[in-house]
Amino acid sequence: MTAEPKLLEPVSPEEASVFSRLQLDTLPRHIAIIMDGNGRWARQKSFGERIEGHRAGTESVRAATRTAAQLRLQALTLYAFSTENWARPKREVTALMSLLESFLIKEIPELMDNNVRLVASGRLDELPASARNKLSHTMSVTAGNDGLVLNLALSYGGRQEIVDACRSLMQRAQSGEIRPEDLTTDAFAQALYQPGLPEPELLVRTSGEQRVSNFLLWQIAYTEFVYLPVLWPDFRRIHFLDALEAYQNRERRFGGVEPVRR
Ligand code: FPP
């Protein structure tokens, strides 16, 4: 097991100002991020290839993971590759898989230093074998870390996750292990890809787009959404802190009348 990373220390007056307004005891336990805007970033910078935006976006993945670990959050889920992304040009898909593979290997020391455990959600059997192998390797190397859980959504679709959960429940019903009347919302949630994680209290989407795009459809029933104008490759710690402040200014009532803290 690795030691806890140091608690976040603001490095600029802007960060210090936002940080001072955060209540550290009511931060979300789980944040999910739709990392959007890589292609636009590449175009703005006049790069010929969208992949340059994805490459730059891996630096933002590192910044977000380190920030979440240093804030002692329980989980960070990043939408890295959707079931719909397979329809992108083959060249882009191949480049994304190769970026993922090099991230999975190069990032091990950083994950260990920050006590981060890597897990993944999605139809992982659809990934190329080389990516699956590196994913299993990094997951097993980090399995003993007990700090932040970094959950990479890969070949992930929210509808597909619900269908996969239904399939496994139907198989268990067919074998007599469970009865239809045993099915509750809690029992259903246990059949999802990561039953051990709390539902995300906060969903962030970068690039200014305001859509859910088939992400965590079951888990976001009561999630707060924060949309940031920043393009993903420019996302840094200050944007993470801005999202947390926006979240903490919300009143969450879960359909009741009294505000619920957290
Ligand atoms: C959406 O931007 C982003 C993706 C589909 C891929 C996200 C991948 C990364 C951030 C890099 C690799 C990830 C890991 C975990 C190593 P877009 O391409 O749709 O942007 P656009 O809407 O501006 O075109």
**The pLDDT of residue 97:** 98
From the candidates 25, 85, 182, 242, give the one annotated as an active-site residue.
Answer: 85
Considering the domain boundaries, does residue 166 fall inside one? no
Is 19 part of any domain? no
Phi-psi region of 248 (alpha: psi -120 to 50; beta: other; left: phi over 0): alpha
Q: Is residue 2 part of a domain?
A: no
- Distant-in-sequence, close-in-space partners of 225: CB < 8 Å, separation ≥ 6: 203, 204, 205, 210
Is residue 175 domain-resident? Answer: no
Residues with pLDDT less than 70, the chain = 1-2, 262
16 lies in some domain? no
User: Which CATH number fits the domain that encloses residue 53?
Assistant: 3.40.1180.10
Q: What is the pLDDT of residue 1?
A: 56
pTM score? 0.96
Q: Has 36 been annotated as catalytic?
A: yes
Q: How far is the CA of 81 from the centre of ligand 1 (A)?
A: 7
Residue bearing the CA closest to ligand 1, atom 6: 80
**pLDDT for 258:** 87
How far away, in angstroms, is 84 Cα from ligand 1 center?
12
The pLDDT > 90 percentage for the chain reads 92
Q: Which residue range forms the structural domain that includes residue 154? A: 28-159+199-248
Number of folded domains in the chain? Answer: 1
pLDDT of 3: 76
Question: Does 4 fall in a domain?
Answer: no
Does residue 44 form part of some domain?
yes
Question: Is residue 153 assigned to a domain?
Answer: yes
Give residue-wise pLDDT tens across range 201-211.
Answer: 999 999 999 99
Task: Specify the ligand 1 atom closest to the Cα of 152.
Answer: 15
